[in-house]
């Protein structure tokens, strides 16, 4: 019985020490990232991305809030599946464009107040840190 308890405590300790290897740990955490451009076209609506916890992203698209898990280490990026609320608004086409692009991004790069998500095919989303 004592052996089982010792193993459980050891597993909890190891899990508690797991380091976040996502973009959050490489300059992405503690910032609100605002979309400024998608696929080389300025983004006229407001959309944000944050890293609220290790392995998680969340934010506000033009109409709805969203969240997703990130399970790959930096510099890779794989948000999925993206879960969003379902409110309607006038910016629905901008929201669809943003969420579709976000779901397809596979690389991330963070340099000070700029974060670039991209694909090998040349698609990109450029974010600036608010504040």
- H/E run at residue 71: none
- pLDDT tens-digit profile of 57-79? 999 999 999 999 998 999 999 99
Is the domain spanning 20-129 CATH 3.40.50.150? The answer is no
Please state the domain extents for the chain. Answer: 20-129
Q: What is the pLDDT of residues 69-114, one digit of tens each?
A: 998 999 999 998 999 999 999 999 999 999 999 999 999 999 999 9
For residue 96, give every residue at least 6 positions away whose Cβ sits within 8 Å of its Cβ, in sequence order, or none.
Answer: none
Q: What is the pLDDT of residue 110?
A: 94
Tell me the β-bridge partners of 41. Answer: 38
Q: Which strands sit side by side in the sheet containing 83-84, from one edge to the other?
A: 56-60, 65-69, 83-84
Length of the chain: 131
Rounded distance between C-alpha atoms, residue 16 and residue 89, angstroms: 41
φ, ψ of residue 25 in degrees (nearest 5): -75, -10
């Amino acid at each position: 019985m004592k052996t089982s308890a010792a193993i459980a405590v050891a597993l909890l300790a190891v899990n508690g020490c797991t380091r976040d290897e996502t973009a959050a740990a490489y300059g992405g955490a503690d910032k609100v990232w605002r979309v400024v451009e998608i696929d080389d076209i300025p983004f006229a609506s407001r959309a944000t991305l944050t890293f609220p916890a290790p392995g998680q992203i969340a934010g506000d698209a033009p109409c709805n809030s969203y969240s997703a898990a990130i399970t790959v280490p930096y510099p890779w990026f794989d948000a999925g599946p993206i879960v969003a609320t379902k409110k309607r608004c006038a910016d629905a086409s901008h929201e669809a464009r943003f969420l579709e692009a976000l779901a397809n991004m596979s690389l991330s790069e963070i340099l000070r107040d700029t974060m670039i998500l991209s694909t090998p095919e040349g698609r990109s989303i450029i974010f600036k840190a608010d504040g």
